[in-house]
Structure 1
Amino acid sequence: MPKSRAKSHPVGFAPAMILVEPQLGENIGFAARAMANFGLTELRLIAPRDGWPSDRARAAAAGADAIIDAATVYPSLDEAVADLNFLLATTARPRGMVKPVLTLEGAARELAARGGKGERIGIMFGPERSGLDNDAISLADAIVTAPVNPAFASLSLPQTVLLVAYEWLRAQTPEPTLGRATTYDGPAAEGLDLTGTRIATRAELFGLFEHLEAELDRSGFLYPAEKRPTLIRAIRNMFHRMGATEQDVRTWRGIVASLSGSNLRKRKGEGS
């Protein structure tokens, strides 16, 4: 089995993700993919059951090859964590140990604070079947656990890595970009994207209302007269609730014009 040693943390002092005796190459690959999704790069492996390197891990990584290629392999946990200043252990159970317990969010904040001060930091994840044993957890400064269904608290190895990595990214960037950035449109952002348009002015909406209401009067929709004010208020409220853009207003005016033109042609045909 190849052996190598990481002498220093990556730039930015991000946490090393430490997989203790992982059993399946696929799970290592899925974990690497989750790391890549959220900007983590350092993967440490302790005695992978099926050996290393692993074609199955590379296939499951789905393009996160740089993480797979740079993964370091250790024969023991002691060697894997020897250079770290602060170490967390992921587990669903405190195991009766007197250690601080952190949520995923709290762990991410603690790691970010310590990494920002130049400390070398890491997070341990246990084997798929049993999780971390007490000897491994005893080496940690604190325990990390997720808010899960107490009746079914078991998370898979890749799931746990993904949750930790997600919270880490959130701790680094309070307002992270969303989704995938492409050549044609940048990363998504929460809220309404008004690129190429804007919210309609009241004057534009009033023009639409006059146009629409005139055609509704002509068609008889706003009959009888005593119900007309109530119907108009309901129609106008619908448009105000939708937060119409100027493009929406132009589209609706085109729809009204098209329908009124069709009705006019129909009426002319009936009269001929």
Structure 2
Amino acid sequence: MSEEKKTAGPVIVLVEPQLGENIGMVARAMANFGLDELRLVNPRDGWPNEKAVAAASRADHVIAATKVFPDLPSALADLTHVLATTARQRDNFKPVLAPVEAAGILRARERAGQRTGIMFGRERFGLYNEEVGLADAIVTFPVNPDYASLNIAQAVLLMAYEWMKSGLAKETDTAFSSPEMIPAEKHQLQGLLDHLESALDTRGYFRPAPKKPKMVDNLRAVLTRPSFTEAEIKVLRGIVASLDYFSPKEPRGQGYPERKAEADRAAGTGRGQESDENA
């Protein structure tokens, strides 16, 4: 995440939402991506709404702070820049933005200290043209034109995600990273190949004998392709060691097979010392 000062983020305004469950899922989507100010314009089933609380899935801070307004102008009164979401083309002169561009504009205005908002229409038919007229620009999603309708919580989730992403130092930032993977050195890979060849030779794998060089070459080609890490080499050496030195009659943990002792002596390691084969 970037080191910039955190802001409240854009206000989410739902115009005449019908179902409490949808309001709750909107609150959950907002909480997922760091938004916490929800405004409702004339919700059909009133407010507060127990179904909204249940659907919010512990986004209680959003539900508790939700404000209700009798009309849209009063819900937008203290905002300086508002976007209207819609799935269909409107006959007006409003700029039309994609979600990525819209989030960048909102972020820039928030950094400048402005209060912004995004309004979403009714579940059945969205916003009226006169309601869209109160916005500064339109946001529309690149959806399948044959099925362009989004659930209101889905629409909020998409915009909240773009808002969160616009505040990252890099778009590819993630909440956590993969563990550090150290590439294996060539001698470690060679040790695995030699061990595997020896184990397969002992088991009579290379038959007929004249084909052994080609079979070894194929085996090495397969195992050198993945560019193993040190940890992966150790796992593979442990597997080969189990197959090579131990058996149902002499399972791992039930003694120390003589062939393993011989291999350790040849490698210069004792039983109490850690070796690649026991990793």
The TM-score normalised by the length of structure 2 is: 0.81
Distance 1:26 1:133 in 2: 23
Contact 1:35 1:162 in 2 (8 A): yes
Tell me, yes or no, if structure 1 residue 144 matches structure 2 residue 139. Answer: yes
Q: 1:37 — aligned with what?
A: 32
Distance 2:6 2:198 in 1: 66
Residue 51 of structure 1: SS of its match in structure 2? coil
**Please, which of 176, 179, 187 is the counterpart of residue 193 of structure 1?**
179
Contact 1:107 1:144 in 2 (8 A): yes
Contact 1:13 1:116 in 2 (8 A): no
Distance 1:43 1:220, change over 3 A: same
Q: How many pairs are equivalent?
A: 246
Q: 2:223 — aligned with what?
A: 239
For 1:59, the aligned partner's letter is A
Kindly state the Cα deviation for residue 85 of structure 1 after the two structures are TM-superposed.
1.0
For 2:183, the aligned partner's letter is I
Kindly state the Cα deviation for residue 265 of structure 1 after the two structures are TM-superposed.
7.3
Contact 2:8 2:35 in 1 (8 A): no
Structure 2 matches for 1:1-272, cutoff 5 A? Answer: 12-173=7-168, 174-175=170-171, 178=174, 187-189=175-177, 192-194=178-180, 198-224=182-208, 227-262=211-246
Kindly state the Cα deviation for residue 89 of structure 1 after the two structures are TM-superposed.
0.3
Distance 1:193 1:240 in 2: 22
Distance 1:264 1:43 in 2: 65
Q: RMSD in angstroms over aligned alpha carbons? A: 2.4
Residue 48 of structure 2: SS of its match in structure 1? coil
Residue 89 of structure 1: SS of its match in structure 2? strand
Distance 1:123 1:210, change over 3 A: same
Contact 1:94 1:101 in 2 (8 A): no
For 2:113, the aligned partner's letter is G
Kindly state the Cα deviation for residue 257 of structure 1 after the two structures are TM-superposed.
2.2
82-91 or 249-258: bigger deviation: 249-258
Kindly state the Cα deviation for residue 239 of structure 1 after the two structures are TM-superposed.
3.0
Cα distance per residue 1:125-177 (max 9 Å; x no partner): 00101101101101111110111110000001001000100111111113576
Kindly state the Cα deviation for residue 79 of structure 1 after the two structures are TM-superposed.
0.5
Distance 2:67 2:73 in 1: 14
Kindly state the Cα deviation for residue 62 of structure 1 after the two structures are TM-superposed.
0.5
Unaligned runs of 5+ in 2: 251-279
Unaligned runs of 5+ in 1: 1-9, 179-186, 267-272
Distance 1:135 1:160 in 2: 20
Distance 1:52 1:162, change over 3 A: same
Contact 1:91 1:132 in 2 (8 A): yes
Distance 1:253 1:85 in 2: 64
The TM-score normalised by the length of structure 1 is: 0.83
Distance 1:231 1:99, change over 3 A: farther
Cα distance per residue 1:109-129 (max 9 Å; x no partner): 111111111111100000101
Kindly state the Cα deviation for residue 225 of structure 1 after the two structures are TM-superposed.
5.1
Kindly state the Cα deviation for residue 193 of structure 1 after the two structures are TM-superposed.
2.3
Contact 1:88 1:124 in 2 (8 A): yes
Distance 1:60 1:13, change over 3 A: closer
